[in-house]
Amino acid sequence: MTNQEFTTSIHRWKIRLLVLAGLAASAYFFDWWLEPGRLSNPLMVFFLLLAMVYCVFRTYCAWYIFSHCSRDEPTESPANLSVDVFVPAFDEPLWLVEQTLRAAKEIQYPHQTYLLDDGGNDEFRQLAKNLGVQYLTRETQENYKAGNINNALTQTSGEIIAIFDVDHVPNREYLNEALWPFKDVAIGFVQVRLSHSNVNQSFVAGAAAERNDGFFGIPMYGMHGLGCAQKFGSNCLIRRTALDSIGGYKPGLAEDLHTSLFLHAEGWKSAYVSEPLAFGLEPTDLGGFFIQQYKWAHGTLTLLRQVYPRLITRFDFATNVCYMWRLTCFLAGPMVALHILVTLVVLYSRDENLVGDFFSYLLHLAPLVLVSWLIMKVASKPFQTKTAKLESRIPAPGLCLAFGMWPIYTKAFVSFLLGSKQPFVATPKEKTSSGIILILPQIVAVLLLLVAILRTITGPLDFQTIGVCCFAGLLIIMHLGLFVAFWDERTRKT
């Protein structure tokens, strides 16, 4: 056994031991539900049972994924592949399109670059002519990005399609360092790590990039180890025959994930290349970030309801775990809203039984949360990469900003339940206008929690009441990222 194999073996045993500890913590948590009289308050049990089922389900899926993390060593890319590079565009700033198009053309590996203009923009047409790249357009914008790509597929012939969102700039070695997995003819697509160049432009950009780095860390390494690396927006390479086998790119607000589902259902394998080979732009303000997150949440939940149930029997166990984990990620918003609501009910009611039950619930939940955090930290250690220093004034800005998104994700969840359709809206590439009304639900929640704490501590206190107040204080603190982002927008010089 080599030193590397020994180290890998030790690492896997650490995770397995922590998972065993997690199962013990789960048993302790479940024990709370088995205590006599637990069903004395059906409404409380209903709310917390929903949260328990979601949290435990997500936790177990995450442990399974994290315990299968794997990273393949790059090899030399095949030299005989024909590659088409697509840059879809629609009404974006000319400078942004030019920047990405120039970089795409200069990629070293032999390829043909195409600007897919979905708006028939004369400036884009002239830009493509000046740069010597192919220009494709169409009469309608049916199915938006997916339709734009499918239109281009009918007019091109490359074996491999590399797709870059208009704000993602590839480096010159992109294809040389990302094509090697296609040596395996069963590989249908390769997802390359999404990295960002504007992490220091604003608090929102830095926090959003940190959150993105979290997904492209151990979750993607774990999915890769399970043979289910998933498609995620830009920086993806797809085998043309794989796209042909599923009838082309799939439409929707989450068109990339939609396409990923069908490619895996058709039996194609996927791979993850973790090197940062292209750098994009995160939204720089809350307005743009909210638009992006609502679109993603609504699109993902729509797939969970309308598409995934039709494909579930075509996936193996590991693939189902990976997709269930990802498709339910935005349900975290309603779960946060649920815990805020229950905390307010408990504190404003001043009912000793409610306080006692809720404190006991939190006490039994705490070890599970702690062990889950440890599993994530231990699993990620061998896969840590150097990332740009984020300009932040609070710890874990990505986590805090995501926590503050609970009204956005809850709105998407309600829309999903009602079956409402959401029109396609591109993520803004430049600063948007937004006011304090944007974060009004979070402000109201924080004020209600603060008043509840103040009312409670002026009365008789016991250990359980103090514990619930501390949890309410934690909920307030977790909104800090959102408020720092809002303040940063108002004070940062453009």
pLDDT of 348 strictly over 50: yes
In the numeric block, which tokens belong to residue 203? Answer: 């608090």
pLDDT of 219 strictly over 80: yes
Give the start-to-end residue ranges of the domains of the chain: 1-494
Question: What confidence tens digit (pLDDT) does each residue in 416-462 have?
Answer: 888 887 776 766 666 666 678 889 999 999 999 999 999 999 888 89
Residue 41 confidence (pLDDT): 67
Question: What confidence tens digit (pLDDT) does each residue in 51-85 have?
Answer: 778 888 899 999 999 989 888 888 999 988 999 99
Task: Give pTM, 2 decimals.
Answer: 0.91
Answer with the residue of higher pLDDT: 219 or 9: 219
Question: What confidence tens digit (pLDDT) does each residue in 287-329 have?
Answer: 999 999 999 999 999 999 999 999 999 999 999 999 999 999 9
Separation between Cα atoms, residue 399 and residue 485, nearest integer Å: 13
Question: What confidence tens digit (pLDDT) does each residue in 108-139 have?
Answer: 999 999 999 998 899 999 999 999 999 999 98
Question: What confidence tens digit (pLDDT) does each residue in 11-55 have?
Answer: 778 888 999 999 999 999 988 887 777 666 677 677 777 877 888
- Asked if residue 242 lies in contact with residue 158, where contact means CB atoms within 8 angstroms, the answer is no
pLDDT of 388 strictly over 60: no
Name the burial class of residue 264, with classes exposed (0-12), middle (13-18) and buried (19+) by CB atoms within 10 angstroms of its CB: buried
pLDDT of 1 strictly over 80: no
Calculate mean pLDDT across residues 459-479: 94
Top-level CATH class of 1-494?
Answer: alpha beta
Q: At what angle do helices 440-457 and 332-349 cross, to 10 degrees?
A: 30
Calculate mean pLDDT across residues 344-348: 94
Classify the C-alpha dihedral 287-292-296-299 as positive or negative. Answer: positive
Please state, for a pLDDT cut of 70, what percent of the chain lies above it: 92
Residue 391 confidence (pLDDT): 35
Residue 2 confidence (pLDDT): 42
Separation between Cα atoms, residue 303 and residue 455, nearest integer Å: 44
